[in-house]
Structure 1
Amino acid sequence: MKYANALSIVLALAAAPAAFAAGSMDGMDMKPATQSRQAPHPVAAEIKKIDRHAGKVTLKHGPIENLGMDAMTMAFPVKDRADLKNFKVGDTVSVTFDSVDGKATVVEMRRP
Structure 2
Amino acid sequence: MKAIHLKTLTTIAAAMVLSASFPSYAAEDMSKMDMKTPMPDASAVTEGMVKKIDKDAGKITIKHGPISNLQMPGMTMVFHAADPAMLDQVKEGDKVKFHVEKMNGALTITNIEATTK
TM band (smaller chain) = 0.5 to 0.7
Q: How far did residue 69 of structure 1 move?
A: 1.1
What does residue 48 of structure 2 align with?
45
Unaligned runs of 5+ in 1: 1-38
Aligned residues: 74
Distance 2:114 2:54 in 1: 18
1:67 paired residue number: 70
Mapped to 2, the partners of 1:72 and 1:65 lie a distance apart of 13
Task: Please tell me the root mean square deviation across aligned C-alpha atoms, in Å.
Answer: 1.5
Secondary structure, aligned partner of 1:73: strand
Partner SS, residue 85 of structure 1:
helix
1:17-32 pair list within 5 angstroms: none
What amino acid maps onto 1:111 in structure 2? A
Partner residue, 1:99:
102
- Give the 4+ runs in structure 1 shifted more than 3 A: none
Task: Report the TM-score when normalising by structure 1.
Answer: 0.62
Identity %: 39
Query: Residue 63 of structure 2 contacts residue 74 of structure 2 at CA under 8 Å; is this kept in 1?
Result: yes
Amino acid at match of 1:78: A
In 2: Cα distance, 1:103 partner to 1:69 partner: 14
- Could you tell me which runs of 5 or more consecutive residues in structure 2 were left unpaired when the two chains were aligned: 1-40
